[in-house]
Structure 1
């Protein structure tokens, strides 16, 4: 057994202390606080030190990694027990166990292969199992097993595992405390806003998102981090909105990915191809879908307070932002195959690949993409008939704003991902603005 695997096992054992929370009550933080003090000030040599020490810890002569892990768990325990705050105890336990056992699952995979996709899959699977079991264990101490919402626990564990896995792709091992706190706060928010889910909904959600994610990875349309981000966004969309919302988002992911791969070699020769062989990363996925995520969370919040007009607006904002992302993607990927592009601000002919350059073929493809999303949204989302017109308009507005920003500020002041975000925001606002008078 390698030292990294033993260390991950040791952290998992420490994380399991979270299961004592119901028995300890207000003192649920105490075991982790004690571990943090021991790691920071007492254990500086011997077998325990060697078990938990990371490379940097040996240089400092202090178990900084273990101390940070335990301190993060201490903070979550306090949030779960302080009056008037009260993060649910199952969420606290899930956050700690998801990180601890997710790391163990990743290390187990590491012992047999160095494939990044399998390592991430090992992290998520172990995190889901540990997070689900942890919530069941916490709640079963105060109620009969037959009344436990197993499906809800599994779905929350999956969301937490994906959040943690995504953050781990961007952060270092020493940042585990930040990962744990982020998972805990994220799950607390989801648990507050999301409604109950049935076992059937959970199974279908998992099958749907895993199939889409694996297809994206197998086809090379997304990197490992991009796959995790996309699956997380889809799962959140299902939780907060429903399957109809997810179908709208998948329509963009699928058609947009195929458009990126379409005649990729020709676009590469012209210098207009997406980098990384067309595989979209986390930044690209979030740049195109962050506004949609905010909209679906806003929809869930207005559903909670029963504000009908607000739910319609957020629904249109969601569809309008996705239409803008689709319109922009198709206009770029299809338009880039044609000669004589013109700068949108001056209509002067410029070289292919120039930011803000458009072709009439690309514009037609972009309008078609917006129309496709409008049609899918009209079929799957319960908004008024005029909503389809608003979504189409929002898509075209977003595509135009993207080109204008590309011609004026992209590169000098804004990156491509920021421009994508602003374009989708324009699509969302445009759809709402057009719909209100209709």
Structure 2
């Protein structure tokens, strides 16, 4: 059986066929251009399934463990067909060719970088870092090279932003999926980068470099303090990158405050929380599901902000309050549960009857106060870093945090565990807070 590094190198070589597509787009006939762009990958898939026999050198080079059962190179065929599908979208439906090439290269060469890093040190974080660094570097070069082959131009900041986003998304997906799911990873990254391209954000070189630096530091700190699992760390780094580039430094200040203080509050008196049965699992290291549940509404708000008003015809200020409200709610809920859970005599929010510590929907007055402090921190950061917020806007964000905390407790007391889980409750609470921010901002004519 071949080594994982050699196999990754072989798949990277197949991924390099993506550079045929820029040349194919120069063909005048759309039909011929489509055939020229997709044929190399389709041919690889056909050969993998019909010609390459088990026991041959090529089979041994490309075979993944699951391929030996039927003696077919299913992994290679799926990888090639996913690339062919993206090539078809690029030629016929408007996916930028350099984004297509960058996507294939990020996945293919990122995998090679991951395998090489794993040889140096058998640590999943180091291996994922190898994927991100290799995917990012080769992704930037691939986009610039593909654009030149096509006779087009792509701005440096755009190439940097798309390559970094693609590498992080791919690494995140690979951390929660299996190696055989690379075709799904490739398709997901390609479509997501197409969305980012269509948003057409005004990406500045300095902001991209700052975002990359801060995101790298954030990832290392999360790893060193063990406040997030690998998927959670990658999710947080990706959200930070998108928030800085698409939103701004004020937006990022709110988000990183939640990540930082929220993570530390989880670690606060952890052993005591563990004895009381209210501690987070995995020694308090939050996974991607937890991070996304608390941040998905904020992420959508950032993307909507970038798309406004050109794509949505909506005043972008509304999405600022949606973002700030969602982050305030996440911070409020985290503080209220992590600090309030340390006190006795919680009461169920719906009946005010005493319940055991850790009961869903149980609240303490200390937890409510802690939650309001958390919301006030986010509101204060928004007022200081974003000039359009001011004292009235900060008050709106404070209210959003309180609403989110209340909705979280109400859902916990009524439907959590039967209709939705904890992560679903968190997401709904941040959504309620975001909608509150939008509604109050409209009512007070802040937009």
TM-score between the two structures when normalised by the length of structure 2: 0.94
Question: How do 1:82-93 and structure 2 match up within 5 A?
Answer: 82=92, 85-93=93-101
The CA deviation at 1:382 is 4.2
CA distance in 2, matches of 1:255, 1:44: 56
2:2–2:61 Cα contact (<8 Å) kept: no
Alpha-carbon offset, residue 351 of structure 1: 1.0
Aligned to 1:42: 51
Tell me how far apart the structure 1 counterparts of residues 242 and 50 of structure 2 sit (CA, whole Å).
41
SS of alignment partner, residue 310 of structure 2 = helix
CA displacement 1:210-253 (0-9 Å, x = unmatched) = 11121111111111111000001111112221222111111111
The aligned runs of 1:212-223 (5 Å cut-off) are: 212-223=218-229
Show the counterpart of 1:251: 257
Cross-structure match for 2:20: 20
Deviation (angstroms), 1:302: 1.2
Does residue 347 of structure 1 match 2:352? yes
User: Per-residue deviation at 1:306?
Assistant: 8.0
Structure 2 equivalent of residue 9 of structure 1: 9
SS of 2:41's equivalent in the other structure is helix
For the residues of structure 2 that align with 1:194 and 1:275, how far apart are their CA atoms?
40
Matches within 5 A, 1:27-426: 27-45=36-54, 46-82=56-92, 85-143=93-151, 148-305=154-311, 307=313, 310-385=315-390, 386-426=392-432
Q: Is the 8 A contact 2:382 2:389 kept in 1?
A: no
Matches of 1:217 and 1:304, distance apart in 2: 38
Shift in Å, 1:304: 2.8
1:297–1:284 Cα change, 3 Å = same
Per-residue Cα deviation, 1:109-128 (whole angstroms, up to 9, x for no partner) = 22232201001001111100
**Cα offset for 1:265?**
1.4
- The C-alpha deviation readout for 1:270-304, integer Å capped at 9, x for no partner, is 11111111111000000000000011111111143
Kept in 2, the 8 Å contact 1:398–1:427? The answer is yes
Q: Which runs of 4+ in 1 moved over 6 A?
A: none
SS in 2 for 1:29: helix
Unaligned 5+ segments in structure 2 are: 26-32
- Contact between 1:16 and 1:97, CA under 8 Å: does it hold in 2? yes
Mapped to 1, the partners of 2:163 and 2:404 lie a distance apart of 35
Contact 1:259 1:333 in 2 (8 A): yes
TM-aligned CA distance change 1:306 to 1:33, over 3 Å: closer
- Checking the alignment, whether the CA contact within 8 Å between 1:320 and 1:428 is kept in structure 2 is yes
**Gap regions ≥5 residues in structure 1:** none
| Contact 1:163 1:232 (C-alpha < 8 Å) held by counterparts | yes
Q: 1:194 to 1:285 in 2, by over 3 A?
A: farther
Contact 1:240 1:297 in 2 (8 A): yes
Instruction: Tell me how large the CA RMSD over aligned residues is.
Output: 1.5
Asked if 1 retains the 8 angstrom alpha-carbon contact of 2:107 and 2:170, the reply is yes
Whether the 8 Å contact between 2:103 and 2:189 is mirrored in structure 1 is: yes
